[in-house]
Every structure is written in structure tokens, then in C-alpha cells.
Chains A and B, each alone.
Chain A
């Protein structure tokens, strides 16, 4: 035996989403997009995307229309607050039916 073959192992992680679980369940308000007010939707070309830049949880896509991943959106409301045209409003989670949450 001796000590020669002892190996010291260090821990390492694999990367992936949802380390904090399905963080959408933290949400008390849900961001709802009104496409008729959203700049890239109206112009049908890439523009604005301020919501995409500031979303702390990287759950808004940089697409037309911007899509919000409700599985992980924590409902901070920064997108709604920063949107220049008020295209996003925060709605009480309790307004949505149970199936909707699944």
C-alpha cells in the first residue's frame, strides 16, 4: 500500500440551468407582454431589446417577439420598469389558473 498511490480528488461541478431549482416558483407577479406596444414587434425588425439586456435571470429571448421563460423568471419586474413603451406589465400570479402554472 504505502502512500504512493493515494490520489487527492478535488470536487468540480458540471454546468447547467436551474441550480436554484425552478425559480419561476419564486415569482409573485408575472410579466405579460403586449405585442402591440413592443417596438421590435411593431416594426417587425430588430430593435430595442432593453428587456433582454437588463433581465438579471437571462430568461427573455432576443427575438421578435421577445419570449419570457416562465420556468425560471423570478418576477423581479425590471423588464416592466425599463421597457420604454410599457409593453410589459406585472400581473399577480394568483390571477393565473393552476394548470397555467404547470
Chain B
């Protein structure tokens, strides 16, 4: 087991410049910065249209120090496959290919290409940063927008459908590594990327990303909101290594504590959930409690 990285042991080399176009208090900026530290300088990035392309900058200035191929929406994972093929033909074996795409670009538009690359066992890391909507184009609902969230095209009743469980879809591809992370826990993200780097085939990351304009909260509370999602048991941090599921970091601690923060606190911290009724929240609380009862039971059996 690798030692846990701390703030003091986190590498100081930066791969992102200040002064990006990302919004004030952007959660993606935190996850991206720390994620690149873990991926390291021998990395080629692949990024489809998203807030990340905005953060990365307008031609001819780039805010990222690493080479990046900007591709069309549906083709992220296929483009990663192409880069891998090129590197192979050039005999280069020490370069990490990492695709970073939004939730829209992953759960909806890029899913087919991603599934194909995962099934082929192409050796790269795919990171989906999930701000739970098509944020770059003005907050439209995506497959991973949660139930009840108001978006530009679910303006009155909020989204009526459940969040699509993309990490579970990717786990069904029998990958060597699948992990969920959060921008509020950047060191957990760092350690997970380091852990999976030498594993074979495609590796999948799903990163929860607090987004002030999309979720409706004062930017200063971004980390608090991200943490609440985890501490309420609403969003779980875990990893699946060769099929083996394990809660990690703050979620693992919740099993020890056997105490969740009421999910109401998470919802009431954001304006996008303002139409959720007390009954709806109670319903979601019951689902969370049932999910965690299963985690507790599993823990007792071990």
C-alpha cells in the first residue's frame, strides 16, 4: 500500500497557469490542477468541448503546460486510442495518455467511444469531471444531473429522472481500476491516480465537481458543498480494483462512524434544489439510509 499523500508531501510543480477563464471558485480548477500533478509531465491530454476547454484557454494562449489534443464531443476516448496507436508506432512507452471530459461528454455524448476503448483494453486513464450538467453552454441537464435539480431545460420541476450511474457502467466493463473522487478531496484524487497508473487497460475516474453558477451557491462554500455530498452519504468515494469494491477516504470513515449528516443540509446549501419538497428529501434520505445499511452490514461481515 502506498503512503497517503499529505499537503506537505504533495509535489509543488504546477502544470496550470493562473489567470484562467474558469469561473471564480471553480471546483474543476482544483481537481484539474491536482490531477495533473499526479499524471505528471509525461502526459498527453485529450479534451472534448467543455468547461475544461474554456479553462485551458483560447488560441494562441494555453493555460496548461502539457500537450493537449482538443477533439470533437463524441470522440474523446477514440482519440485517446489514436494517440496510443501513434505512440506505439513510434516506440514510445513512457507516455501517459489521459482523457478529461465533462459529464455531458461522458455520460451522454462520448459514452459509445468510451465503452469501445474500455472493451478493447486500451491503456489510458479516462477522467470524467462531473459538475452534473452541461455547464459550459449554460447549465442544461445531462445524464448525470441528479433528480430534482433545476437546470435551464428543467426550469420548473427540476430533473424528473435519476442520475445515471456511469462508474457502475464502467465497472461492468471489468476494468482494472474504477474510482470515484471529489474536488473537495484532492489528495484522495491524487493518490488514486498514482495507484492506478501502472494497471493494465483503461482506468476510469468519476470526479464530483462543485460548480458555483451551475449549482447556485456562494463560491466561497465550494469545498463545504463538495464535502457535504460525501458526509451525507449522497455521493460515495470508492475504488474498484480488479472487481473488488472498497469505500475510501471520507466515505470509509463514515462506515466507522456509522453517522451520516442529513442529506437535507446538502440540498439546502444549493439553489438548484430549492423546489425539492420535504417529502422528496425524506424519500432520498431513505434511499441513502438503505444504501448505507448495506455498507454497514458488509463491514460487519468482514
Chain A contacts to B: CB under 8 angstroms: 11-23, 26-27, 46-50, 52-54, 56-59, 62, 69, 71-72, 74-78, 80-82, 90
Give the size range of B's interface with the partner.
35 or more
Contact A75 B60 (CB under 8 A): no
What are 20 of the A-B contact pairs (CB < 8 Å)? A11-B59, A15-B17, A15-B62, A15-B65, A16-B62, A19-B21, A19-B63, A20-B57, A27-B24, A46-B8, A47-B8, A53-B34, A58-B16, A58-B17, A58-B33, A71-B18, A74-B24, A76-B212, A76-B222, A90-B220
Residues from chain B with a CB closer than 8 A to the CB of A27 are: 24
Residues from chain B with a CB closer than 8 A to the CB of A74 are: 24-25
> Which residues between 228 and 270 of chain B lie within 8 Å of chain A, taking CB atoms?
none
Residues from chain B with a CB closer than 8 A to the CB of A20 are: 19-22, 57, 63
- The chain A residue with its CB closest to the CB of B61 is A19
Q: In the complex, what distance in Å separates the CA atom of A86 from the CA atom of B22? A: 26
Q: In the complex, what distance in Å separates the CA atom of A71 from the CA atom of B22? A: 15
Interface: B10 (CB within 8 A): yes
Contact A19 B62 (CB under 8 A): yes
Contact A54 B30 (CB under 8 A): yes
> Which residues between 29 and 61 of chain B lie within 8 Å of chain A, taking CB atoms?
29-30, 33-34, 57-61
Contact of A78 among B17, B58, B62, B219 (CB under 8 A): B219
Contact A76 B223 (CB under 8 A): no
Contact of A16 among B17, B27, B219 (CB under 8 A): B17
Contact A19 B58 (CB under 8 A): yes
Contact of A76 among B10, B24, B187 (CB under 8 A): B24
Interface: B7 (CB within 8 A): yes
Chain B contacts to A: CB under 8 angstroms: 7-8, 10, 12, 14, 16-22, 24-27, 29-30, 33-34, 57-65, 186-187, 212, 218-224
Residues from chain B with a CB closer than 8 A to the CB of A21 are: 19
Contact of A14 among B14, B24, B34, B60 (CB under 8 A): B60
Q: In the complex, what distance in Å separates the CA atom of A62 from the CA atom of B11? A: 11
Contact of A57 among B10, B18, B64 (CB under 8 A): B18
Residues from chain B with a CB closer than 8 A to the CB of A14 are: 60-62
Contact of B17 among A11, A19, A46, A77 (CB under 8 A): A19
Contact B20 A19 (CB under 8 A): yes
**Given contacts A19-B57, A58-B16, A80-B220, is CB(A75)–CB(B30) below 8 Å?**
no
Name the residue in A46, A54, A58 with the highest tally of chain B Cβ atoms < 10 Å from its Cβ.
A58
Q: In the complex, what distance in Å separates the CA atom of A27 from the CA atom of B27? A: 17
> In the complex, what's the smallest C-beta–C-beta distance from B282 to chain A, in angstroms?
30
Contact B30 A13 (CB under 8 A): no
Kindly list 17 other residue pairs between chains A and B, CB separation below 8 angstroms, not including A15-B17, A16-B17, A58-B16.
Answer: A13-B60, A13-B61, A14-B61, A15-B61, A15-B63, A15-B65, A17-B17, A19-B61, A19-B62, A20-B63, A23-B19, A50-B7, A54-B223, A76-B24, A76-B220, A76-B222, A78-B219
Residues from chain B with a CB closer than 8 A to the CB of A46 are: 8
Q: In the complex, what distance in Å separates the CA atom of A12 from the CA atom of B218? A: 36
Residues from chain A with a CB closer than 8 A to the CB of B27 are: 56
Contact A62 B12 (CB under 8 A): yes
Contact B30 A72 (CB under 8 A): no
Contact B7 A56 (CB under 8 A): no
Contact B18 A75 (CB under 8 A): no
Contact A77 B186 (CB under 8 A): no
Q: In the complex, what distance in Å separates the CA atom of A54 from the CA atom of B25? A: 10
- The chain B residue with its CB closest to the CB of A31 is B220
Residues from chain A with a CB closer than 8 A to the CB of B61 are: 13-16, 18-19
Q: In the complex, what distance in Å separates the CA atom of A80 from the CA atom of B219? A: 11
Residues from chain A with a CB closer than 8 A to the CB of B8 are: 46-47, 49
